Amino acid sequence: MDEHSIQDRASETAAKAGQAATGAVQQASASMQGMLDQGKAMARDAQAGAAGLARQASEAGRQAMAQAGEVVQGVQGAAREAGNQATRAAASLYEQGSQAGDVITRYTAQQPVAALLIAAAVGYGLAYLIHRR
């Protein structure tokens, strides 16, 4: 072979190698662009999913707070009602005690000897119970 044909073959080989390298770079570039696009899509999906989860968590927290408020209001209402009932019971007990005191006062005024004997018997019974222990 002569030197000129060797140079032509070398030029052709270099041109083919350049074309192959260009094709490989273009293919790698396209592949990388596809991977970047996939990454961006995955990031958008992850961001949308995280935003959805955050909204769900916020809604669940809001509902829990609303339920807790309702429970507190129910407990407050029950406490008010219990307080009202205790007040009515105390007033009734006070009234009954006052009436019993009035009855004892009238009985003592009408029959002082019997009242004295009953008081002595009650006192003796209490003393017996206290000293028995």
Q: pLDDT exceeding 70 applies to what percent of the chain?
A: 97
The mean of the pLDDT values for the chain is 85
pLDDT tens string 59-104: 888 888 888 888 888 889 899 999 999 999 999 999 999 999 888 8
Identify which of 54, 73, 106 has the alpha carbon closest to the alpha carbon of residue 65. 73
Quick one: pLDDT at residue 1? 55
Identify which of 2, 1, 5, 25 has the alpha carbon closest to the alpha carbon of residue 17. 25
Our count of domains for the chain comes to 1
Quick one: pLDDT at residue 133? 66
DSSP letters of 67-95?
HHHHHHHHHHHHHHHHHHHHHHHHHHHHH
Whole-model pTM? 0.44
Range 94-122 average pLDDT: 89
- Domain range for 82 is 3-132
